[in-house]
Structure 1
Amino acid sequence: MRTCNRCLCFTLVVTLIIVVVLSYLLNSIKDSTVPSNILIRQTECNNYSRPIIFIGGMPRSGTTLMRAILDSHPLVRCGEETRVVPRILSMRSAWKKQTVEWNRLIAGGISENILDSAVRAFVYEILVRHGGPDADILCDKDPFVLKHAVYVTTIFPNSKFLLLIRDGRAVIHSVMTRKVTITGFSLTDYKQNLKSWNQGIDVMVKECTKIGDSNCLFVYYEQLVLHPRVTIEKILKFLNIPWVDSVLHHDELIDKKISLSKTEHSSDQVIKPINLEALTRWVGHVPDNVKNEIDTLAPMLKQLGYDTKSDNPSYGTADSLVIENTNNIKRNISYWNERMKQYDRKMSNTTSIASVKTLTVL
């Protein structure tokens, strides 16, 4: 097993070095016969100081909705989850933490600067080339990237982060009822899930706090759903992006500017306009043996401002737009059910272990 791990690490390091070398060679082209627009494109593709938005949070916390909203803005392009970005960041973190392996890399002539340049080139290449046409502002929605916010700011200095936060009880209910398997979570053990949610969100909140409120913004799912205009205005102001009305109607751009993956868990939900359907589905489903221990099992709930004493807490009163959207969905339930069938997942509900395996050991 140890030999296999070493071989894997060696292969990945070599791959990253190749990416950097190829990137360098492309940038070194001086042939006057190369069209100017090609040269301009190459320069743009290696502009690591350009604005990049990273959307993250615990699974089932509204990250897909958030990226769909931003994708509806003409200046932004997010696209589907890359899945590989958090993996390469996790590997880089693991190398750094494993003293023996890190020393081997250094001894082999792979300095920290070289490795970081390779990781930067790898991530940037993925973000530039995936998700459709290029845009002024790149955006990545990979939930577990927020576990590495501090490091990402060192390789992309102009990056900004949106940390989606949702009531952990709602997250757990969604995971269990939709049978989304995530390492550290259970489809039957509510207590275990509270602990895992607490551990994961704690790591992300700390990362977000470390890079400061000018670089990372807490976005509460409940407020995004109840008060979309005010919340999105705050988000766009934080991102230095002008307001456009299309961000309130992302559903109108599905399969146009916004593409959805049929392998992602939330695609069949974000095709709808912003509504109240999922806000309180968890109410009445917290086991009795958990209620009295909830502050011990998940202290982050109270720290984040959630009412842990009520079985049916109030998140606020919805805006008229959201109420209208919700009522329209109910009146046209057959239509929306047919639409949702088009986005039924084509794969199992398993979230890759490799993408989240470090969640429970941090």
Structure 2
Amino acid sequence: MRDNWYKSDLEKTRLDQAGVDESVVDAAVGAFILEAIAKHGHPTKVLCNKDPLTLKHGAYMTQLFPKSKWLFMIRDGRAVVHSVVTRKVTITGYQLDNPRQCLEKWNTVITNMDKQCQEIGPERCMVVYYEQLVLHPERWMTIILDFLDLPWDSSVLHHQDFINKKGDSGIRVSMKERSSDQIVKPINIEALTQWVGFYSQDVLNDMAEIAPMLSTFGYDPELNPPNYGQPDGQVVNNTNEVQKNKDFWEIRAKQLVAQMEKRD
């Protein structure tokens, strides 16, 4: 809404003349965002928003919330688009029937987010690679919590134990969230390479030109399948457990959906 107002010089002039200058608009936007985040969960000292596209407005949001810190989560764009398309995640501007266009859109969005993170600065915006977080969760969660000035808690390595659990420690998830069937599982590497075999050969041949930010972030656009590194032992065990007990996890995901439907 704010962006739409300020795209028009006439609208901005009208607001200014009515006494609704930028300081008033910023206060209103900040209050709206704060209420939305603070009131949708249990009271807590630290508020968190995980919408990955929030960083598109990172520099402005940092002005509104001067104590905020940011995690710029980067994932292989080929895996991102595969997830968006196969899970039918509706995002404005993405043509889900056109993987090439989605990759180009990802490249544009991630370029802007990278610019925003650099503008915010490394003291308040830290880059985290999704693949490395999955492969080495304890190492990276230690780094992340230290960056956020939060104490270490081993529960961050066992998120699946808190899904829809009652009380302040429970993690409320939405049945509308496309990845809800995944988060019931312990940290595993299944999702890292599911995109392999998804793209047509012409898209693979043009990958470096379609999504140059892959190379910028250290991904080899020609390496298929990719090599993200070796997982920690516990992650290997988790992955083996998930693969050996597919029926169990499928039932667990259905139970989660049933819980959410009953709650809603």
- TM-score bracket, normalised by the shorter chain, equals over 0.9
**Offset at 1:188?**
2.2
Task: Work out which of the residue numbers 180, 185, 188 in structure 2 matches 1:275.
Answer: 188
Task: Work out which of the residue numbers 202, 205, 212 in structure 2 matches 1:292.
Answer: 205
Task: Work out which of the residue numbers 238, 246, 252 in structure 1 matches 2:147.
Answer: 238
**Partner in structure 2 of residue 114 of structure 1:** 24
Q: TM-score, normalised by structure 2?
A: 0.92
Alignment of 1:1-362 (within 5 A): 91-131=1-41, 133-256=42-165, 257-344=170-257
Contact 2:72 2:127 survives alignment (8 Å): yes
**Offset at 1:298?**
0.8
Deviations 1:109-147 (A, max 9, x none): 10111111111111112222112x211211112222111
Quote the Cα distance in structure 1 between the aligned partners of 2:216 and 2:180: 30
Structure number with greater Rg is: 1
Quote the Cα distance in structure 2 between the aligned partners of 1:171 and 1:211: 24
SS of 1:159's equivalent? coil
Quote the Cα distance in structure 2 between the aligned partners of 1:225 and 1:244: 17
Aligned length: 256
Q: CA RMSD in A?
A: 1.7
Contact 2:208 2:222 survives alignment (8 Å): no
Contact 2:71 2:126 survives alignment (8 Å): yes
**Offset at 1:344?**
4.8
Gaps of 5+ in 1: 1-90, 348-362
What amino acid is aligned across from residue 128 of structure 1 in structure 2? A
**Offset at 1:201?**
0.8
SS of 2:101's equivalent? helix
**Partner in structure 2 of residue 12 of structure 1:** none
SS of 1:306's equivalent? coil
Quote the Cα distance in structure 2 between the aligned partners of 1:319 and 1:333: 21
SS of 2:71's equivalent? strand
Quote the Cα distance in structure 2 between the aligned partners of 1:324 and 1:175: 27
Contact 2:135 2:235 survives alignment (8 Å): yes
> For residues 289 and 270 of structure 1, do their structure 2 counterparts lie closer, same or farther at Cα, with a shift above 3 Å needed?
same
Provide the identity percentage: 49
Q: TM-score, normalised by structure 1?
A: 0.68
What amino acid is aligned across from residue 185 of structure 1 in structure 2? Y
What amino acid is aligned across from residue 194 of structure 2 in structure 1? R
Runs ≥4 in structure 1, deviation > 4 angstroms? 343-347
